[in-house]
Structure 1
Amino acid sequence: MSKKPNLILTDDEDTFRNIMTKELSRMGYNVVSCASGAEALKNIEERDFDIVILDINMPVMNGIELLKKVKALDSTTEVIVLTGQGTIENAVQAIKLGAYDYVTKPCRLTELQILLQKALEKRQLNKENVHLKRLVKDAQKTPLLIGNGAAITAVHKMVEKIAASDAIVLLQGESGTGKELVAQSIHQHSPRANRPCVVVNCATLQETLLESELFGHVKGAFTGATELRVGLFEIADGGTIFLDEIGELSVNTQAKLLRVVQSGEIRRVGDNRIITVDTRIIAATNKNLAAEVKNGRFREDLYFRLNVITVSLPPLRERREDIPLLIDHFLRNFCRKREKKHVLPEALTAMTRYSWPGNVRELENTVERLVVLAEGEDISVDDLPENIRGISPFRNAAGCPEGTLSDVEKKHILRVLHEKQCNKTLAAEALGISLKTLYNKLKVYHIDL
């Protein structure tokens, strides 16, 4: 862990406690020293601790009682029990109640140091595994940025430069240009590569659930909160969190995110304790955040915090030289369990001329459909969707542009909607964009179905 672990030491013997505080600080821990169980509990209720060291024999609130309360607050907090030779049975009881281990007083510092390191490792593993399966997407998969054209090569070079730093990155680009792929690439080329990279789509989560997802919640925080839930920022501690579609966040959630960006501190929903996290933030949007700030839909202070390093991803129409490489890559992926297929030159020419408003995602979806539906090994022009087949849908019969990019996009959306019989879900899938993005474009272009 790159940050100093937080540790609380609880013992009613002043001399022992003072000596141990100095030694633990020397080992590299942020140490809070407490003379009683009540004092320790007050600190634990206000702040997150990685490890609690407590003495079994303390007046008023003994170690067993304090252990139960600590575990009730956060089951991932590791507890090491201090005990004398005469209270080994109590130490064994403490382990049954969830303590990590025990040491006898007076303890050997080397033994304690090894124990603390193992307890820290167990705590981190527990935090990651609580919801790891639903949170981490393709953590072991090496992302590939396909292409060797000038536009994508510039992105490659930018990734190499910024990966080694901890600076916040803002990825800008149209839907389907591969922003998540770039975020994964930055993470996997960084010193944080062996830690989680957690992906969050801010547009798909309800506002009422988003805060709980990002920061976690405690048991009883709201109806349905039946257990403590670790937030995404905690699970990404030491790693990276990718906030996709950050422009969709409500102003209220933006304010809470600003606090994390500024201080690295979070609070679980329903909890007053401060938790410090060391999480690199990569954000992405297909919106013009500067314009959103001007219109009052995005906080200016958060925008300037996020806009440290900006990477603009080119749309596919600006990197046509990469289209054959991408088609070949997707064909290999989708033909693994089927017969080998390839695109005939005429079809490849048509696909290269096409402007792909849904970008790489639309191209991937199209190749998958071609693999499934095309008969035989050869994919011809006749196998292509109507909007891609023949003369490029973005040029008229004379070969001249049909109009502005907005005109072209509007006409293409209308073509696909007609092809899908106005089924917006199928149309969005064919376009390679989200349903929410399609609704936004229908509104912008005043398309009334």
Structure 2
Amino acid sequence: MPFNRLLIADDDHGFREAVAAAMAARGFAVTPVPSGSAALAWLAANECDLVLLDLRMPDMTGLEVLDRIRERYPHIEIVLLTGHGTIDTAVAAIRKGAFDFLPKPCSPDQVEVTLQKAMERRALIERAHVLQQALAPPDLAGTFIGRSPQFHDVLRVIDRVAGVGSSVLILGETGVGKELVAKLIHSRGVRSSAPFVVVDCSNLHEELLQSELFGHEKGAYTGAVSLKHGLFEVADKGTVFLDEVGDVPPALQARLLRVLETGVFRRLGGTVELAVDVRVVAATNRDLQDMVAHGHFREDLYYRLNAIRIDVPPLRERPDDIACLAAHFVDRFNRRFNQHRRLSPEAVDVLTRYGWPGNVRQLINVIEQVVVLCDEDTITPERLPPMVRAPAQSGAPRLHGDAPIVPLRDVERQYIEFAIKQFGGHRANAARALGIGERSLYRRLSEFGLD
């Protein structure tokens, strides 16, 4: 039984021992003490979850003990025991932070039910704390690596916008690190201790995405067997990161706009309006202005999201970052796999000359592969994947050197074709390697006439 360590402080020996025996029989780990001072002395040396505290004791009043416990051990739930004529005092104690009170005499069943409720509240508080810690990322500057002028330009913008509450739109190709930029904005701002919630808009159908964002009431649709809190509720006081916001269905864009403008929404199937205070950071690799022009994305939503815009350049436009990024990822995977790999200068030169159409995510995949598969500690060019060593012969587009400049759309088309070929036509694996959702891959295949 979690959170079951119980301290009973009561100067009535018979009552104290009877309750202690009854609660021990019900699964509690019980320690009985005869006074307030004894309770405080025991708490100073032991862990405790629950205190059953009499209000009338000779050495210290229950209210004095309550104040000390709340000050020193705020996580402990306290239940008051009160005799006749002290109900007003018990109510005052609850205002000071006690969980509940029981009039004496009380049955073991009454005590157990009240303690169980106190344990449930303690468990809920613990779960909420764990959730908040998990959703509030630390400052990730140590993982945002680069030395190029373009990198430092992005970092300066991050520092400028982190302290304000405006919506931010992050633009960039797949794999450049848009989510990391969003996490940095959150972790360096005033909302850093609150949740950072990621919503992948590309991998969910409209009804599921609506349920994820706004939640649903029980019975709102087939399969909605219980109430579900939406991610806007979960992120209250924090940040919602809408990844691939360009994939939000048109019918859902209106609801999203209303939340951005008013901070108010209703759960799916609900009638009560809920208010939240969240900052919205969105990202996409699509041309939203072109989508607006063709009627695929609401113009008012675009301008609402685009209060502040950050363009994250692709890795091929900042080759000065490749060497330090590669070294960083080698170190990461050395620690993960207990290896001692290092890149030779020649291998670094090959990595730097390659065009990286999959950007940083592709670089991570390549480094993980060579750290795992290389037999020697020194990684030479021969150990790098063929597509990196000789991109012109591998089928992947050559984006560096004296190759002619081709439209970005053609580069993306060639690279998608190459990825699908590399995975033997398995589109789910190709999408995973490309760092995009399967829906996004199928949409691109349709756009390129490759479906």
Q: TM-score, normalised by structure 1?
A: 0.68
Residue deviations 1:371-410 (CA, integer Å, cap 9, x gap): 1112211222222222111366655999433744444443
Shift of 1:316: 0.7
**Structure 1 residue 223 displacement after superposition:** 2.9
Runs of at least 4 residues off by over 6 Å? none
Aligned to 2:383: 383
The equivalent of 2:373 in structure 1 is 373
1:404 and 1:224 map into 2 onto residues whose CA distance is: 46
- 2:181 is aligned to 182
Q: Counterpart of 1:367 in structure 2: which amino acid?
A: I
Query: What does residue range 162-201 of structure 1 map to in structure 2 within 5 Å?
Result: 162-201=161-200
SS state of the match for residue 366, structure 1? helix
Q: Which runs of no fewer than 5 residues in structure 1 stay unpaired?
A: 1-84, 103-121
CA deviations 1:138-191 (Å, max 9, x no partner) are 734735321021111011000111111000111111111111101100001101
What are the within-5 Å matches in structure 2 for residues 249-264 of structure 1?
249-264=248-263
Q: Quick one: which amino acid aligns to residue 266 of structure 1? A: F
Q: Is the CA contact (8 Å cut-off) linking 2:158 and 2:185 kept in structure 1? A: yes
| Counterpart code for 1:387 | M
Q: Is the 8 A contact 1:359 1:432 kept in 2?
A: no
Q: Hey, what's the Cα distance between the residues in 1 that align with 2:327 and 2:399? A: 29
> Aligned to 2:153, what secondary structure does the other structure show?
helix
2: CA distance, partners of 1:320 / 1:376: 26
Q: Distance in 1 between matches of 2:221 and 2:86?
A: 41
- Residue 419 of structure 1 deviates from its aligned partner by 2.9
Aligned residue identity for 2:389: R
The separation in 2 between residues aligned to 1:232 and 1:297, in whole angstroms, is 25
Shift of 1:433: 3.7
Q: Is the 8 A contact 2:162 2:186 kept in 1?
A: yes
Residues 131 and 216 of structure 1: CA distance in aligned 2, closer, same or farther (over 3 Å): farther
Residue 197 of structure 1 contacts residue 242 of structure 1 at CA under 8 Å; is this kept in 2?
Answer: yes
Task: State the SS of the aligned residue for 2:389.
Answer: coil
Displacement after TM superposition at 1:252 (Å)? 1.5
- Tell me how far apart the structure 1 counterparts of residues 378 and 349 of structure 2 sit (CA, whole Å): 14
Q: Would the alpha carbon gap of residues 136 and 241 (structure 1) be closer, same or farther in structure 2, given more than 3 Å must change?
A: farther
Report matched runs for 1:279-298 at 5 Å.
Answer: 279-298=278-297
1:445 equivalent in structure 2: 448
Deviation at 1:351, TM superposition (A): 1.4
Cα RMSD for the two superposed structures: 3.4
Cα displacement (A) at 1:201: 0.7
Q: Distance in 2 between matches of 1:396 and 1:286?
A: 19
CA distance in 2, matches of 1:293, 1:447: 25
- Percent sequence identity over matched residues? 43
Range with greater deviation from structure 2 (228-237 or 152-161)? 228-237
Alignment of 1:408-419 (within 5 A): 408-419=411-422
Distance 2:347 2:215 in 1: 50
* Superposed displacement of residue 101, structure 1: 5.6
Please give the alpha-carbon distance, in whole angstroms, between the structure 2 residues aligned to 1:231 and 1:317: 38
Residue 195 of structure 1 aligns to a residue whose secondary structure is coil
Matches within 5 A, 1:215-254: 215-254=214-253
Q: Are the equivalent residues in 2 in contact too, given 1:214–1:231 (CA < 8 A)?
A: yes
Match of 1:149 in 2: 148
Give the AA of the match of 1:309.
I
Residues 215, 430 of structure 1: alpha-carbon distance in 2 compared, 3 angstrom cutoff:
closer
SS in 2 for 1:192: coil
Matched, 1:204 2:175: no
Q: Distance in 2 between matches of 1:396 and 1:205?
A: 33
Q: Is the 8 A contact 1:402 1:408 kept in 2?
A: no
SS of match in other structure, 1:310: strand
Name the counterpart of 1:423. Answer: 426
Counterpart of 2:55 in structure 1 is: none
- Name the CA distance, whole Å, in 2 between partners of 1:433 and 1:445: 16
CA distance in 2, matches of 1:412, 1:349: 22
Give the whole-Å Cα distance in 2 for the aligned partners of 1:243 and 1:209: 15
Partners of 1:176 and 1:395 in 2: how far apart?
18
* Contact 1:347 1:381 (8 Å CA) reproduced: yes
Runs of 5+ consecutive residues of structure 2 not aligned to the other structure: 1-83, 102-120
Report how many aligned residue pairs link the two structures. Answer: 341
Which secondary structure does the structure 2 equivalent of 1:272 belong to? Answer: coil
